[in-house]
Amino acid sequence: MEANETSQLTTGRFSIVVPVYRCKSCLDELCRRIANTLENMEGVDYEILLVDDRCPENSWKKIVHLSQEYPKLRGVRLSRNFGQQIAITAGLASSTGDYVVVMDGDLQDPPEAIPLMFKKLGKGYDFILGRRAKRSHSKTRLLFASSYFRIMNVINNDSFDGRFGSFSLLSRKVVNSILEFGEKERHYLFILRWVGYKMGSVDYTHAVRSSGKSSYSFNMLIRHAIDGIFFQTTVLLKWIVTLGLLVVLAGIGLALYYVYNFFVQGALPGWTTLVVLLLLCTGCVLFSLGVVGLYVGKIFEQSKNRPLYIIDEQI
């Protein structure tokens, strides 16, 4: 989306929101680099907000220690592991800045890119997404991510760039809009896409993970992809209706064909055809019921109206 290139920069308070899960060994270097970067930005106040998503490494103890070293650091500890998307939401809700940066805690998103993003924001944009010009992930994960975004673009009739990640800079009005969302099945990037506003981008090099292990296993990536494909849109349900209609039309066509053959050639042996058709139709019905069942299950979970997350401790 284009914006007015002549808009003036404004200064204010920054909140740096970092979901913490399996990146305890990166936190010292991360906080040092964030502090150095923001303290060199003229007229900027800031807070570092680390959201402990109940990391199994007991990162909370580390966060408490860092808060003593960095007076501008705050910590939020969730009562259990709610996942990255909800941890980001918890961080946004706890932030106090005029501008909010969301970034990963594994040092693959460079804090040094924040001034560039802020400069771009000053050209009339409402939020800036970091675009990974070069990614350090494995070829398998890159292929998986590329395929996922292609599927999502087909489903949503969109052209979203799969090189975007959660690294972003948001104005306060964008943050407030995101916090109005109540659904539990959420994807940060798709929410940003949905709210609209003027979006800009800044390219950066996606660094190699300095230490630790990614919290996204292959199984978790698959689950994340299924949630994104199934529960960010109802297009799949429309496809099922279309498939059902095509099967019905094919059935009517075959019925007419067999009636015609019965009167012209007499009854023909067709056990194989019958079995194949039964298996095909049964498979379509079971698949459709499964998809509908997933949607119904998610509606049931949402209808419980439970809170998105629970905060255990704050510093």
- pLDDT tens-digit profile of 77-126? 999 888 888 899 999 999 999 999 999 888 888 999 999 999 888 888 99
pTM greater than 0.75 (yes/no) = no
Residue pair 214/137 in contact by the 8 Å Cβ criterion: no
Does residue 44 carry a pLDDT above 50? yes
CA distance 73 to 51: 11
80 and 158 share one domain: yes
Classify 77 as helix, strand or coil. Answer: strand
pLDDT of residue 7: 44
* Count of the separate structural domains present in the chain: 2
Six-digit token string for 246: 């095509």
Residue pair 70/315 in contact by the 8 Å Cβ criterion: no
153-188: pLDDT as tens digits: 665 566 666 577 789 999 999 999 999 887 777 788
Instruction: Report helix angle 27-39 to 59-69, nearest 10.
Output: 30
Residue 292 forms part of a structural domain: yes
Banded pLDDT at 6 (limits 50, 70, 90): very low
pLDDT of residue 77: 93
23 and 66 share one domain: yes
211 and 240 share one domain: no
> Domain range spanning residue 164?
13-217
CA distance 284 to 232: 23
pLDDT of residue 152: 62
111 and 179 share one domain: yes
Residue 278 forms part of a structural domain: yes
The neighbour count for residue 115, using CB atoms within 10 Å, is: 14
Q: What percent of the chain has pLDDT over 90?
A: 23
Residue 310 forms part of a structural domain: no
189 and 245 share one domain: no
Question: Which letter, b or e, does each residue of 259-298 get, where b requires 16 or more Cβ atoms within 10 Å of its Cβ?
Answer: eeeeeeeeeeeeeeeeeeeeeeeeeeeeebeeeeeeeeeb
Residue 206 forms part of a structural domain: yes
CA distance 57 to 23: 8
The rounded mean pLDDT for the chain is 77
133 and 30 share one domain: yes
**CA dist 174 to 104, 115, 165, 311, Å?**
19, 19, 17, 23
Classify 281 as helix, strand or coil. Answer: helix
Mean pLDDT on 13-33: 90
Residue 228 forms part of a structural domain: no
pLDDT of residue 1: 44
> If you ran DSSP here, which 8-state letter would residue 214 be given?
-
